[in-house]
Structure 1
């Protein structure tokens, strides 16, 4: 793979940045401030990291405002250094690319439709009637079920599964091991037959510019569709149950579980290890701290949390003992008040 390199002048144009220093300085990558090597550009997103510049070997730095005494003379001044850093990671992305075309070991049904410039790697399976949009890349071992639809310029990493009839929009990224369209957890109890499976007849429908992490499970709807709107980002190890809807630009961190038929609004953030009960309605702009247990609907935007923070074991034991005494103590207080 050819080494990518850009002049600082070119990067300034790309980022709409003010250039201070040598515009001919060549940048070969992005580095952490403390460990950056010569030829790399770093960034300062918070003033507490400025002291690290004194020992940094980086050739250039992204800053919000000029630093006259900065040890690194080559500076790009931008409104948001962290956002500029995010844009540079795309420029220097080193992910190996699948070549255009269909690998000889891939199995593509004769009734499937492949768009222009698709990239189908080794061991992929594309079933009957599936549609793969132009420019979409399927890494090794991806399975696309019958009648599934993938929009243009999607990227499915190795060993992901898109089950039958599911729909992905444009520019969707799905990371390794994730399954989209697995059966929802639906069963009817029977006194004579035990648990009778409810076959899941809906789909999963995903909008544009969605990114889904590794080893997630997104269940298809029981009758209506499970829906994920445009711009949603989902971390690793997330389970989204059947009939859930998630609004635009919502972000979900790792190890979250959302039970069936819950509606999550737009621009919400859900911290790691949050558990959301089923059949709830969460309005727009709600933010859950990590490990929150959500058991009721929310109709007011804001921040919500539950659970107790970590403490040493002896203090936690005392706390748990006291918590079991609260009901008795409340009764005694009522008697005293009378």
Structure 2
């Protein structure tokens, strides 16, 4: 628990009201009760602010006087402030240093690292201090994992990959499997192309459950510092993702695409291969990106939801656009002045 003045001393902000109020957790406006610290990040929740039973609230400067009967912390970005408070209330547990008797370890392990039951670490693996390897993980030969990185149970990291410091990789993620590379004979038979690159992951990266990142064919697949990847994302071979890019669940990124820094990609978006996406691009959920993007901004390529009968009718019109365009061209050609007759 923290007094409000302790929070402000640590995280900044302006305290209005009783500095001695103690809060024990953060909560939503709707669910908060006595001892809770809530936040208002969107004005559409103003009605909930007045009804909330929170002991204190985090507000933006333009909302500081909307609530006068309770103390509040005024911060430029209430949601960001809430995130930092939540970290204080929910610190990451320290590693339980040691190697479980049921782990199979063929490499040196720092005394501060935690190796869970059933984990398998091959020869040449290098671990930094305070690394956590969860139950049932497999780490291939020659892989390097930086200080403070945590692997949830059943993460698989293939040989030769690099993971930076302070990363979080959630359960079921697979790092460094072969990329989808084949050449085709005239007979139709596929010939596998060995995938000899690596996956190189920067510092402070989070990778969601069951996300897969393929190793490079020749060069490396690279995930930049500070990237945040949701669950069930597929990243193909030789993809490069710039620093601090965030990608939501079920996105598919085809091979050799390069994505800039500070981008945001919505859920179920798809990017075809060999594209270049510049910095500071936002791609809306469900969008298919089929060409490179060279200017920052928000890009959307999805059809709004509508009733099925309306969709069928509208799509039938869409199929007739070519014929309609041809009719317009014919009419314009017939009235361009060349066929007009002068009056007698």
Q: TM-score, normalised by structure 2?
A: 0.91
Aligned counterparts of 2:221 and 2:211: Cα–Cα separation in 1 = 14
Of residues 121, 129, 153, the one that matches 1:134 is 129
Q: Is this contact kept in 2: 1:53–1:71, CA < 8 A?
A: no
Q: Offset at 1:116? A: 4.4
Aligned counterparts of 1:25 and 1:119: Cα–Cα separation in 2 = 38
Matches within 5 A, 1:10-49: 10-49=6-45
Aligned counterparts of 2:237 and 2:330: Cα–Cα separation in 1 = 49
Of residues 215, 220, 223, the one that matches 2:210 is 215
Aligned counterparts of 2:54 and 2:115: Cα–Cα separation in 1 = 38
Matches within 5 A, 1:177-188: 177-188=172-183
| Segment of structure 1 superposing worse, 299-308 or 169-178 | 299-308
Alpha-carbon displacement from aligned partner over 1:113-171 (angstroms, at most 9, x marks no partner): 32341122222111111011111112222211111000011111121111110001111
Q: Offset at 1:188? A: 1.5
Gaps of 5+ in 1: none
2:85 match: 88
1:247 matched to 2:227:
no
Q: Is this contact kept in 2: 1:54–1:71, CA < 8 A?
A: no
1:50 match: 46
Alpha-carbon displacement from aligned partner over 1:239-276 (angstroms, at most 9, x marks no partner): 00001111111111111111011111112211111111
Matches within 5 A, 1:301-316: 301-316=296-311
Aligned counterparts of 2:286 and 2:101: Cα–Cα separation in 1 = 46
Aligned counterparts of 1:315 and 1:94: Cα–Cα separation in 2 = 51
Q: Is this contact kept in 2: 1:64–1:80, CA < 8 A?
A: yes
Alpha-carbon displacement from aligned partner over 1:84-133 (angstroms, at most 9, x marks no partner): 10101211227666512222222211xx2323411222221111110111
2:200 match: 205
Aligned counterparts of 1:211 and 1:229: Cα–Cα separation in 2 = 11
Of residues 104, 109, 127, the one that matches 1:107 is 104
Query: How many residue pairs get matched?
Result: 332
Aligned counterparts of 1:55 and 1:300: Cα–Cα separation in 2 = 44
Q: Offset at 1:68? A: 4.4
Gaps of 5+ in 2: 334-344
Please, what is the CA RMSD of the aligned residues? 1.8
Matches within 5 A, 1:314-333: 314-333=309-328
Q: Is this contact kept in 1: 2:4–2:19, CA < 8 A?
A: yes
Of residues 159, 168, 171, the one that matches 2:163 is 168
SS in 2 for 1:76: strand
Q: Offset at 1:55? A: 2.1
SS in 1 for 2:147: coil
Q: 1:196 to 1:38 in 2, by over 3 A?
A: same
Considering only CA atoms, is the larger Rg found in Structure 1 or Structure 2?
A: 2
